[in-house]
Structure 1
Amino acid sequence: MKINQKLTAVIIDDERHAREFLNKIILRVFPDHFQKIVITDSVQNGVVLINECRPDIVFLDIDMPDENGFELFKKFNSVNFEVVFTTAHQNFIMEAVNTYGCLGYLMKPIDQDDLRVIIDRFENKMLQKQATVLTDNAVKGNEVLVEDANERSEIAKKNDLLFFSGQHEVNIVKISDIIYCRASDSYCEFYTMNKNFTVSKPLKEIEKIINDDIFFRVHRSYLVNMNYVSSYDKKLSVLKLLVHPQTGENKIPVADTGHKKIISEISS
Protein backbone atom coordinates (compact mmCIF):
# COMPACT_ATOMS: atom_id res chain seq x y z
CA MET A 1 0.00 0.00 0.00
CA LYS A 2 1.75 3.16 -1.17
CA ILE A 3 0.95 6.85 -1.01
CA ASN A 4 0.27 8.48 -4.36
CA GLN A 5 1.69 11.95 -3.74
CA LYS A 6 5.20 12.79 -4.93
CA LEU A 7 7.57 13.81 -2.17
CA THR A 8 9.90 16.74 -1.60
CA ALA A 9 13.20 16.33 0.22
CA VAL A 10 16.01 18.55 1.50
CA ILE A 11 19.53 17.16 1.97
CA ILE A 12 21.79 19.05 4.41
CA ASP A 13 25.42 17.96 4.52
CA ASP A 14 28.65 19.98 4.57
CA GLU A 15 30.48 17.35 2.47
CA ARG A 16 29.75 17.87 -1.22
CA HIS A 17 30.38 14.27 -2.29
CA ALA A 18 28.17 12.97 0.56
CA ARG A 19 25.13 15.07 -0.34
CA GLU A 20 25.54 14.43 -4.06
CA PHE A 21 25.89 10.67 -3.45
CA LEU A 22 22.72 10.63 -1.33
CA ASN A 23 20.85 12.58 -3.99
CA LYS A 24 21.92 10.07 -6.66
CA ILE A 25 21.06 7.01 -4.62
CA ILE A 26 17.60 8.38 -3.77
CA LEU A 27 16.86 9.00 -7.45
CA ARG A 28 18.21 5.59 -8.42
CA VAL A 29 16.30 3.58 -5.82
CA PHE A 30 13.13 5.70 -5.91
CA PRO A 31 12.92 7.19 -9.41
CA ASP A 32 9.17 7.92 -9.18
CA HIS A 33 8.79 8.91 -5.53
CA PHE A 34 10.24 12.42 -5.43
CA GLN A 35 9.16 15.50 -7.34
CA LYS A 36 11.95 17.64 -5.89
CA ILE A 37 15.22 17.11 -4.02
CA VAL A 38 17.28 20.15 -3.04
CA ILE A 39 20.71 20.03 -1.42
CA THR A 40 22.68 22.44 0.71
CA ASP A 41 25.78 22.56 2.92
CA SER A 42 24.70 24.05 6.26
CA VAL A 43 21.93 24.32 8.82
CA GLN A 44 21.52 28.03 8.05
CA ASN A 45 20.97 27.42 4.34
CA GLY A 46 18.84 24.40 5.16
CA VAL A 47 16.41 26.54 7.16
CA VAL A 48 15.95 28.80 4.14
CA LEU A 49 15.28 25.86 1.83
CA ILE A 50 12.88 24.22 4.28
CA ASN A 51 10.84 27.40 4.54
CA GLU A 52 10.78 27.69 0.74
CA CYS A 53 10.14 24.06 -0.21
CA ARG A 54 8.05 22.74 2.72
CA PRO A 55 9.68 19.30 2.41
CA ASP A 56 8.22 15.99 3.49
CA ILE A 57 11.63 14.64 4.51
CA VAL A 58 14.90 16.30 5.56
CA PHE A 59 18.09 14.22 5.35
CA LEU A 60 20.29 15.86 7.96
CA ASP A 61 23.99 15.39 8.65
CA ILE A 62 24.87 15.82 12.32
CA ASP A 63 28.59 16.54 12.51
CA MET A 64 29.08 19.82 10.59
CA PRO A 65 31.62 22.58 11.32
CA ASP A 66 29.44 25.70 11.70
CA GLU A 67 26.38 24.23 13.43
CA ASN A 68 25.68 20.58 14.08
CA GLY A 69 22.48 19.11 12.71
CA PHE A 70 20.69 19.18 16.06
CA GLU A 71 20.68 23.00 15.91
CA LEU A 72 18.14 22.78 13.07
CA PHE A 73 15.37 21.94 15.54
CA LYS A 74 15.91 25.22 17.40
CA LYS A 75 15.10 27.19 14.24
CA PHE A 76 11.46 26.04 14.07
CA ASN A 77 8.57 26.46 16.50
CA SER A 78 7.13 23.23 15.15
CA VAL A 79 8.72 20.61 12.92
CA ASN A 80 6.29 19.72 10.11
CA PHE A 81 8.63 17.37 8.30
CA GLU A 82 10.28 14.04 8.98
CA VAL A 83 14.00 13.97 9.76
CA VAL A 84 16.44 11.27 8.72
CA PHE A 85 19.86 11.70 10.33
CA THR A 86 22.84 10.85 8.13
CA THR A 87 26.21 10.50 9.81
CA ALA A 88 29.36 8.42 10.05
CA HIS A 89 29.37 8.60 13.87
CA GLN A 90 27.42 6.07 15.90
CA ASN A 91 27.83 8.05 19.13
CA PHE A 92 25.04 10.41 17.99
CA ILE A 93 22.39 7.69 17.76
CA MET A 94 20.99 7.92 21.30
CA GLU A 95 20.68 11.70 21.22
CA ALA A 96 19.16 11.66 17.72
CA VAL A 97 16.49 9.14 18.67
CA ASN A 98 15.75 9.91 22.33
CA THR A 99 16.14 13.68 22.42
CA TYR A 100 15.07 14.85 18.99
CA GLY A 101 13.11 11.96 17.55
CA CYS A 102 13.55 11.00 13.94
CA LEU A 103 12.17 8.89 11.13
CA GLY A 104 15.44 7.03 10.86
CA TYR A 105 19.22 7.02 11.13
CA LEU A 106 21.43 6.25 8.12
CA MET A 107 25.08 5.41 8.66
CA LYS A 108 27.57 6.58 6.04
CA PRO A 109 28.38 5.24 3.54
CA ILE A 110 24.64 4.94 2.99
CA ASP A 111 23.34 1.57 1.88
CA GLN A 112 20.42 1.53 -0.55
CA ASP A 113 18.63 -1.22 1.40
CA ASP A 114 18.75 0.90 4.55
CA LEU A 115 17.41 3.83 2.55
CA ARG A 116 14.58 1.67 1.22
CA VAL A 117 13.59 0.74 4.78
CA ILE A 118 13.43 4.43 5.72
CA ILE A 119 11.25 5.46 2.76
CA ASP A 120 8.94 2.47 3.30
CA ARG A 121 8.66 3.51 6.95
CA PHE A 122 7.76 7.05 5.89
CA GLU A 123 5.05 5.86 3.49
CA ASN A 124 3.55 3.54 6.10
CA LYS A 125 3.53 6.39 8.60
CA MET A 126 1.70 8.65 6.15
CA LEU A 127 -0.86 5.94 5.41
CA GLN A 128 -1.44 5.44 9.12
CA LYS A 129 -2.05 9.17 9.51
CA GLN A 130 -4.54 9.11 6.64
CA ALA A 131 -6.28 6.10 8.16
CA THR A 132 -6.45 7.84 11.55
CA VAL A 133 -8.08 10.92 10.02
CA LEU A 134 -10.60 8.78 8.17
CA THR A 135 -11.36 6.75 11.28
CA ASP A 136 -11.80 9.89 13.41
CA ASN A 137 -14.29 11.22 10.87
CA ALA A 138 -16.15 7.95 10.95
CA VAL A 139 -16.26 7.90 14.76
CA LYS A 140 -17.84 11.35 14.69
CA GLY A 141 -20.61 9.90 12.56
CA ASN A 142 -19.32 11.03 9.18
CA GLU A 143 -18.97 7.90 7.05
CA VAL A 144 -16.01 8.17 4.73
CA LEU A 145 -18.07 8.35 1.57
CA VAL A 146 -16.81 11.52 -0.05
CA GLU A 147 -19.26 13.42 -2.23
CA ASP A 148 -17.02 13.68 -5.27
CA ALA A 149 -16.78 10.33 -7.10
CA ASN A 150 -13.18 10.90 -8.23
CA GLU A 151 -12.08 11.70 -4.69
CA ARG A 152 -13.88 8.62 -3.38
CA SER A 153 -12.02 6.52 -5.91
CA GLU A 154 -8.65 8.01 -4.93
CA ILE A 155 -9.25 7.36 -1.23
CA ALA A 156 -10.24 3.76 -1.89
CA LYS A 157 -7.36 2.96 -4.24
CA LYS A 158 -4.74 4.75 -2.19
CA ASN A 159 -5.53 2.99 1.07
CA ASP A 160 -7.26 -0.21 -0.08
CA LEU A 161 -9.54 0.53 2.89
CA LEU A 162 -13.09 1.66 3.46
CA PHE A 163 -14.46 3.03 6.73
CA PHE A 164 -18.13 2.83 7.73
CA SER A 165 -19.59 4.21 10.94
CA GLY A 166 -22.18 2.05 12.69
CA GLN A 167 -24.17 2.75 15.82
CA HIS A 168 -21.64 1.16 18.16
CA GLU A 169 -18.46 0.72 16.11
CA VAL A 170 -16.50 1.73 13.05
CA ASN A 171 -16.20 -1.02 10.45
CA ILE A 172 -12.91 -0.97 8.55
CA VAL A 173 -12.78 -3.22 5.50
CA LYS A 174 -9.92 -3.96 3.15
CA ILE A 175 -11.27 -3.72 -0.40
CA SER A 176 -9.39 -6.80 -1.59
CA ASP A 177 -11.03 -8.83 1.22
CA ILE A 178 -14.57 -8.08 0.02
CA ILE A 179 -16.08 -11.22 -1.51
CA TYR A 180 -19.33 -9.59 -2.55
CA CYS A 181 -21.84 -6.89 -1.60
CA ARG A 182 -25.59 -7.42 -1.62
CA ALA A 183 -28.27 -4.74 -1.81
CA SER A 184 -30.94 -4.77 0.89
CA ASP A 185 -33.42 -1.93 0.31
CA SER A 186 -31.47 1.28 1.04
CA TYR A 187 -28.76 -0.71 2.84
CA CYS A 188 -25.84 -2.79 1.63
CA GLU A 189 -24.53 -6.02 3.14
CA PHE A 190 -20.79 -6.69 2.98
CA TYR A 191 -19.41 -10.22 2.97
CA THR A 192 -15.65 -10.40 3.49
CA MET A 193 -13.00 -12.96 4.36
CA ASN A 194 -13.16 -12.05 8.04
CA LYS A 195 -16.55 -10.55 8.87
CA ASN A 196 -19.93 -9.51 7.53
CA PHE A 197 -21.73 -6.26 8.25
CA THR A 198 -24.38 -3.87 6.93
CA VAL A 199 -24.02 -0.18 6.04
CA SER A 200 -26.69 2.40 5.42
CA LYS A 201 -25.77 3.12 1.80
CA PRO A 202 -27.29 1.77 -1.43
CA LEU A 203 -25.28 -0.64 -3.56
CA LYS A 204 -24.94 1.82 -6.46
CA GLU A 205 -23.05 4.21 -4.18
CA ILE A 206 -20.81 1.44 -2.85
CA GLU A 207 -20.04 0.48 -6.46
CA LYS A 208 -18.88 4.04 -7.20
CA ILE A 209 -16.71 4.14 -4.10
CA ILE A 210 -14.94 0.85 -4.76
CA ASN A 211 -14.57 1.62 -8.48
CA ASP A 212 -12.30 -1.37 -9.09
CA ASP A 213 -12.11 -3.28 -12.38
CA ILE A 214 -12.19 -6.62 -10.58
CA PHE A 215 -15.67 -5.94 -9.10
CA PHE A 216 -18.58 -6.79 -11.38
CA ARG A 217 -22.17 -5.63 -10.90
CA VAL A 218 -23.60 -8.95 -12.10
CA HIS A 219 -27.10 -8.30 -10.77
CA ARG A 220 -29.01 -5.27 -9.51
CA SER A 221 -28.55 -6.71 -5.99
CA TYR A 222 -24.98 -8.04 -6.23
CA LEU A 223 -21.51 -6.59 -6.66
CA VAL A 224 -18.95 -9.41 -6.83
CA ASN A 225 -15.16 -9.54 -6.47
CA MET A 226 -14.25 -11.82 -9.39
CA ASN A 227 -11.08 -12.95 -7.58
CA TYR A 228 -13.34 -15.08 -5.40
CA VAL A 229 -15.27 -16.70 -8.26
CA SER A 230 -14.45 -20.29 -9.19
CA SER A 231 -16.77 -20.72 -12.19
CA TYR A 232 -19.73 -19.32 -14.10
CA ASP A 233 -22.66 -21.59 -14.93
CA LYS A 234 -23.98 -20.07 -18.14
CA LYS A 235 -27.02 -22.37 -18.23
CA LEU A 236 -28.21 -21.45 -14.74
CA SER A 237 -26.74 -17.91 -14.85
CA VAL A 238 -24.98 -18.40 -11.55
CA LEU A 239 -21.50 -17.51 -10.28
CA LYS A 240 -19.96 -20.08 -7.96
CA LEU A 241 -17.65 -18.75 -5.26
CA LEU A 242 -14.34 -20.18 -4.12
CA VAL A 243 -15.27 -19.47 -0.51
CA HIS A 244 -18.44 -19.65 1.52
CA PRO A 245 -18.68 -16.57 3.76
CA GLN A 246 -20.46 -17.01 7.07
CA THR A 247 -24.24 -16.49 6.75
CA GLY A 248 -23.60 -15.57 3.10
CA GLU A 249 -24.09 -17.40 -0.18
CA ASN A 250 -21.72 -19.44 -2.29
CA LYS A 251 -23.75 -18.98 -5.46
CA ILE A 252 -24.55 -15.55 -6.90
CA PRO A 253 -27.34 -14.97 -9.43
CA VAL A 254 -26.38 -13.22 -12.68
CA ALA A 255 -28.77 -10.96 -14.59
CA ASP A 256 -28.77 -10.49 -18.39
CA THR A 257 -26.60 -7.38 -18.17
CA GLY A 258 -24.18 -9.22 -15.88
CA HIS A 259 -24.11 -12.18 -18.27
CA LYS A 260 -23.16 -9.92 -21.17
CA LYS A 261 -20.47 -8.24 -19.08
CA ILE A 262 -18.92 -11.56 -18.03
CA ILE A 263 -19.01 -13.00 -21.57
CA SER A 264 -17.51 -9.79 -22.95
CA GLU A 265 -14.71 -9.93 -20.38
CA ILE A 266 -13.98 -13.58 -21.16
CA SER A 267 -13.93 -12.89 -24.90
CA SER A 268 -11.65 -9.84 -24.70
Structure 2
Amino acid sequence: MSKPSILVVEDEPLIADDISETLEAHGYQVCAIVDEASDALEAIQQYAPDLALLDINIEGSVDGIDLARQLTIPFVFLTSYYDKDTLKRAGSVNPSGYLVKPFQDTDLIANVELGLKRKKVKVNLLTAPEKLFVKKDQEIVALMSDHILYAEAYDNYTNIYTTDNKYIISHTLKKVEEKLQHLGFFRVHRSYLINFEAIDSIAENYVFLKGHKVQISKTFRKDLMDRLTMI
Protein backbone atom coordinates (compact mmCIF):
# COMPACT_ATOMS: atom_id res chain seq x y z
CA MET A 1 0.00 0.00 0.00
CA SER A 2 1.45 3.39 -1.00
CA LYS A 3 2.19 6.01 1.61
CA PRO A 4 -0.07 9.08 1.76
CA SER A 5 1.57 11.93 -0.14
CA ILE A 6 1.88 15.36 1.49
CA LEU A 7 2.82 18.72 -0.04
CA VAL A 8 4.46 21.20 2.36
CA VAL A 9 4.06 24.90 1.51
CA GLU A 10 6.26 26.76 3.99
CA ASP A 11 8.64 29.69 3.51
CA GLU A 12 10.80 29.05 6.59
CA PRO A 13 13.32 26.33 5.59
CA LEU A 14 14.04 25.09 9.12
CA ILE A 15 10.35 24.68 9.92
CA ALA A 16 9.74 23.01 6.57
CA ASP A 17 12.55 20.53 7.22
CA ASP A 18 11.23 19.76 10.72
CA ILE A 19 7.73 19.15 9.34
CA SER A 20 9.11 16.92 6.61
CA GLU A 21 11.13 14.83 9.07
CA THR A 22 8.14 14.44 11.37
CA LEU A 23 5.86 13.35 8.54
CA GLU A 24 8.33 10.84 7.14
CA ALA A 25 8.99 9.44 10.62
CA HIS A 26 5.24 8.73 10.88
CA GLY A 27 5.00 6.93 7.56
CA TYR A 28 4.01 9.73 5.18
CA GLN A 29 5.71 10.71 1.94
CA VAL A 30 6.59 14.36 1.42
CA CYS A 31 6.29 14.87 -2.34
CA ALA A 32 7.69 18.42 -2.34
CA ILE A 33 8.53 21.43 -0.18
CA VAL A 34 7.77 24.82 -1.79
CA ASP A 35 7.47 28.38 -0.54
CA GLU A 36 5.04 30.11 -2.92
CA ALA A 37 1.69 29.54 -4.59
CA SER A 38 2.84 29.10 -8.18
CA ASP A 39 5.30 26.37 -7.19
CA ALA A 40 2.61 24.72 -5.05
CA LEU A 41 0.21 24.51 -7.99
CA GLU A 42 2.94 23.06 -10.20
CA ALA A 43 3.78 20.47 -7.53
CA ILE A 44 0.12 19.47 -7.22
CA GLN A 45 -0.14 19.00 -10.95
CA GLN A 46 3.08 16.95 -11.01
CA TYR A 47 2.66 14.80 -7.89
CA ALA A 48 -1.11 14.81 -7.16
CA PRO A 49 -0.63 14.77 -3.35
CA ASP A 50 -3.32 13.60 -0.97
CA LEU A 51 -3.02 16.63 1.34
CA ALA A 52 -1.34 20.04 1.50
CA LEU A 53 0.08 21.76 4.57
CA LEU A 54 -0.17 25.49 3.91
CA ASP A 55 1.63 28.26 5.72
CA ILE A 56 -0.60 31.33 5.43
CA ASN A 57 2.26 33.84 5.12
CA ILE A 58 4.24 32.57 2.10
CA GLU A 59 6.42 34.13 -0.57
CA GLY A 60 4.85 35.97 -3.50
CA SER A 61 1.68 38.01 -3.94
CA VAL A 62 -0.70 35.09 -3.24
CA ASP A 63 -0.90 34.00 0.39
CA GLY A 64 -1.83 30.56 1.70
CA ILE A 65 -5.53 31.37 2.04
CA ASP A 66 -5.87 32.59 -1.55
CA LEU A 67 -3.88 29.55 -2.67
CA ALA A 68 -6.31 27.31 -0.79
CA ARG A 69 -9.20 28.70 -2.84
CA GLN A 70 -7.63 27.09 -5.91
CA LEU A 71 -7.17 23.62 -4.42
CA THR A 72 -9.33 20.53 -4.76
CA ILE A 73 -7.38 18.48 -2.22
CA PRO A 74 -7.75 18.78 1.57
CA PHE A 75 -5.40 21.24 3.28
CA VAL A 76 -4.31 22.20 6.77
CA PHE A 77 -3.17 25.73 7.61
CA LEU A 78 0.08 26.32 9.48
CA THR A 79 0.50 29.84 10.81
CA SER A 80 1.75 32.16 13.50
CA TYR A 81 -1.38 34.28 13.08
CA TYR A 82 -4.64 33.75 14.91
CA ASP A 83 -6.18 37.22 14.89
CA LYS A 84 -9.88 37.59 14.17
CA ASP A 85 -9.50 38.68 10.53
CA THR A 86 -7.10 35.85 9.66
CA LEU A 87 -9.33 33.27 11.32
CA LYS A 88 -12.36 34.60 9.43
CA ARG A 89 -10.55 34.44 6.07
CA ALA A 90 -9.16 31.00 6.82
CA GLY A 91 -12.57 29.68 7.86
CA SER A 92 -14.13 30.86 4.59
CA VAL A 93 -12.15 28.25 2.59
CA ASN A 94 -13.08 25.32 4.83
CA PRO A 95 -9.67 23.94 5.91
CA SER A 96 -9.29 20.47 7.38
CA GLY A 97 -7.25 21.91 10.23
CA TYR A 98 -5.57 25.04 11.60
CA LEU A 99 -2.28 24.76 13.50
CA VAL A 100 -0.72 27.73 15.29
CA LYS A 101 3.07 27.75 15.44
CA PRO A 102 4.85 26.45 17.39
CA PHE A 103 2.89 23.18 17.47
CA GLN A 104 3.54 19.70 18.77
CA ASP A 105 4.28 16.76 16.48
CA THR A 106 1.21 14.99 17.84
CA ASP A 107 -1.01 17.92 16.82
CA LEU A 108 0.50 17.95 13.34
CA ILE A 109 -0.11 14.24 12.81
CA ALA A 110 -3.65 14.45 14.20
CA ASN A 111 -4.52 17.22 11.73
CA VAL A 112 -2.92 15.34 8.84
CA GLU A 113 -5.02 12.28 9.65
CA LEU A 114 -8.20 14.35 9.79
CA GLY A 115 -7.39 15.85 6.39
CA LEU A 116 -6.71 12.46 4.84
CA LYS A 117 -9.99 11.11 6.19
CA ARG A 118 -11.82 14.03 4.60
CA LYS A 119 -10.31 13.05 1.25
CA LYS A 120 -11.66 9.53 1.63
CA VAL A 121 -15.22 10.71 2.18
CA LYS A 122 -17.23 9.73 -0.90
CA VAL A 123 -19.84 11.86 -2.57
CA ASN A 124 -23.09 11.46 -0.69
CA LEU A 125 -25.34 9.90 -3.29
CA LEU A 126 -28.35 10.21 -0.99
CA THR A 127 -28.33 14.01 -1.09
CA ALA A 128 -31.75 15.14 -2.24
CA PRO A 129 -31.82 17.26 -5.41
CA GLU A 130 -32.49 20.94 -4.89
CA LYS A 131 -34.57 23.32 -6.96
CA LEU A 132 -32.41 26.06 -8.41
CA PHE A 133 -33.37 29.10 -10.46
CA VAL A 134 -31.56 30.43 -13.54
CA LYS A 135 -32.24 33.26 -15.97
CA LYS A 136 -33.06 32.33 -19.56
CA ASP A 137 -33.93 35.16 -21.90
CA GLN A 138 -36.53 37.23 -20.01
CA GLU A 139 -37.59 34.44 -17.65
CA ILE A 140 -36.38 32.94 -14.38
CA VAL A 141 -36.55 29.20 -14.88
CA ALA A 142 -36.70 26.47 -12.23
CA LEU A 143 -34.04 23.80 -12.65
CA MET A 144 -33.55 20.71 -10.49
CA SER A 145 -29.92 20.18 -9.52
CA ASP A 146 -29.92 16.54 -10.64
CA HIS A 147 -30.80 17.66 -14.18
CA ILE A 148 -27.47 19.51 -14.46
CA LEU A 149 -24.75 17.46 -16.15
CA TYR A 150 -21.84 19.86 -15.91
CA ALA A 151 -20.76 23.48 -15.76
CA GLU A 152 -18.16 25.15 -17.94
CA ALA A 153 -16.16 28.30 -17.22
CA TYR A 154 -16.67 31.00 -19.83
CA ASP A 155 -14.64 34.10 -18.97
CA ASN A 156 -16.44 35.63 -15.95
CA TYR A 157 -19.58 33.63 -16.77
CA THR A 158 -20.49 29.96 -16.51
CA ASN A 159 -22.33 27.76 -18.98
CA ILE A 160 -24.65 25.24 -17.31
CA TYR A 161 -25.50 22.16 -19.38
CA THR A 162 -28.43 19.79 -18.99
CA THR A 163 -29.27 16.95 -21.37
CA ASP A 164 -30.99 19.26 -23.83
CA ASN A 165 -30.42 22.84 -22.69
CA LYS A 166 -27.67 25.35 -22.00
CA TYR A 167 -27.91 28.25 -19.56
CA ILE A 168 -25.49 31.18 -19.20
CA ILE A 169 -24.94 32.18 -15.57
CA SER A 170 -23.50 35.58 -14.66
CA HIS A 171 -21.15 34.10 -12.05
CA THR A 172 -17.67 32.60 -12.23
CA LEU A 173 -17.28 28.83 -12.08
CA LYS A 174 -15.87 29.20 -8.58
CA LYS A 175 -19.08 30.85 -7.38
CA VAL A 176 -21.20 28.17 -9.07
CA GLU A 177 -19.04 25.48 -7.49
CA GLU A 178 -19.69 26.92 -4.03
CA LYS A 179 -23.43 26.51 -4.60
CA LEU A 180 -23.27 23.01 -6.10
CA GLN A 181 -20.44 21.15 -4.39
CA HIS A 182 -22.64 19.93 -1.50
CA LEU A 183 -24.90 18.32 -4.14
CA GLY A 184 -22.19 16.03 -5.52
CA PHE A 185 -20.55 18.36 -8.05
CA PHE A 186 -16.77 18.62 -8.25
CA ARG A 187 -13.97 19.77 -10.54
CA VAL A 188 -12.38 17.52 -13.14
CA HIS A 189 -10.62 20.42 -14.87
CA ARG A 190 -9.98 24.06 -14.03
CA SER A 191 -12.75 24.89 -16.52
CA TYR A 192 -15.24 22.08 -15.77
CA LEU A 193 -17.44 21.08 -12.84
CA ILE A 194 -19.38 17.82 -13.19
CA ASN A 195 -22.31 16.06 -11.55
CA PHE A 196 -21.03 12.75 -10.13
CA GLU A 197 -24.44 11.14 -10.57
CA ALA A 198 -24.42 11.89 -14.31
CA ILE A 199 -21.21 9.96 -15.08
CA ASP A 200 -21.69 7.17 -17.62
CA SER A 201 -18.07 6.27 -18.26
CA ILE A 202 -14.48 7.45 -18.04
CA ALA A 203 -11.94 6.89 -20.80
CA GLU A 204 -8.41 8.24 -21.01
CA ASN A 205 -8.66 11.97 -20.37
CA TYR A 206 -12.42 12.34 -20.68
CA VAL A 207 -15.56 11.69 -18.67
CA PHE A 208 -18.84 10.99 -20.47
CA LEU A 209 -22.09 12.40 -19.09
CA LYS A 210 -25.33 11.45 -20.86
CA GLY A 211 -23.86 11.97 -24.31
CA HIS A 212 -21.60 14.87 -23.35
CA LYS A 213 -17.80 14.59 -23.35
CA VAL A 214 -15.83 16.59 -20.74
CA GLN A 215 -12.07 16.79 -20.47
CA ILE A 216 -10.26 15.65 -17.30
CA SER A 217 -6.99 17.36 -16.43
CA LYS A 218 -4.06 15.61 -14.80
CA THR A 219 -4.40 17.83 -11.74
CA PHE A 220 -7.92 16.58 -10.97
CA ARG A 221 -7.81 13.01 -12.30
CA LYS A 222 -6.60 11.43 -9.05
CA ASP A 223 -9.36 13.12 -7.07
CA LEU A 224 -11.94 11.78 -9.52
CA MET A 225 -10.58 8.24 -9.36
CA ASP A 226 -10.49 8.34 -5.55
CA ARG A 227 -14.23 9.04 -5.54
CA LEU A 228 -15.07 5.88 -7.51
CA THR A 229 -16.14 2.68 -5.81
CA MET A 230 -14.49 -0.05 -7.86
CA ILE A 231 -15.69 -3.68 -7.79
Q: TM-score, normalised by structure 2?
A: 0.48
Q: Hey, which of these two has a bigger chunk of strand by percent? A: 2
Which structure has more relative contact order (CA 8 Å, sep 6+)? It is 2
Q: Hey, which of these two has a bigger chunk of helix by percent? A: 1
Q: Which structure has the larger Rg over C-alpha atoms?
A: 1
